[in-house]
Amino acid sequence: MTNPALYSNNSYQIVFTSATTYNINDVTAGPPVLVSSGTYVSGQTISFNGVQVAIQGTPANTDTFNLTPSTNQSLFTTLSDLISTLNASIPSTNAMNSVAYRQGLNDAYGALDQGLSNVLNIRATMGSRLRELDALQVTGDEVGLQLKTTLSKIQDTDYNKAISELSLENMTLQAAQQSFAKVSQLSLFNYL
């Protein structure tokens, strides 16, 4: 896929009308609808609707290639398909089996690459979540320590000392209030 904005997630079919010409049909909904046509050169890419395909070799008239959107597949299915492809015999005289073998390897490579990308994305997501959990754990530990410190201060209070300090503070406050009341009543007129 070269341009996701142009890609319509449809199924396409490349049909060779000769060894050097092809038609591209949209086969998503019923009968084929011609999308594009062109001249084929072995090894050059065929581009249309945000998709790019490279085909090598000399196609025969009516050779067909199907392009369909990929589906989700488990890595175990991919590995099973790869093992089946590798176990298949490759007779050197039968070119179709050789092409099928190479296509199976290419499909497995693409699926494994996608699977690895998906695993790495999930791993990165899990890493960020674990980092958040660690940060929450540290914050929780700090709050817990503060609460334990406060609880310890409350439980370890010497009530006799606390009452004495409270009485002293109360007496200091009353003295300050009485001084303020006497000073605030003084004015210049009292001295004249």
What are the pLDDT digits (tens) for 101-134?
888 888 888 889 888 988 999 999 999 999 999 9
Provide the pLDDT for residue 86.
Answer: 85
User: Higher pLDDT residue, 192 or 14?
Assistant: 14
Decide if 59 contacts 40 (C-beta within 8 A): yes
Q: Are 78 and 111 in contact (CB under 8 A)?
A: yes
Same domain membership, residue 30 and residue 77: no
Q: Is residue 57 part of a domain?
A: yes
Residue at a domain's end among 33, 54, 69: 69
Q: What is the mean pLDDT of residues 156-168?
A: 88
The yes-or-no verdict on residue 93 having pLDDT over 60 is no
Is there a domain that residue 161 lies in?
no
Classify 146 as helix, strand or coil: helix
Residue 172 lies in a domain: no
Question: Model pTM greater than 0.75?
Answer: no
- pLDDT value at position 110? 86
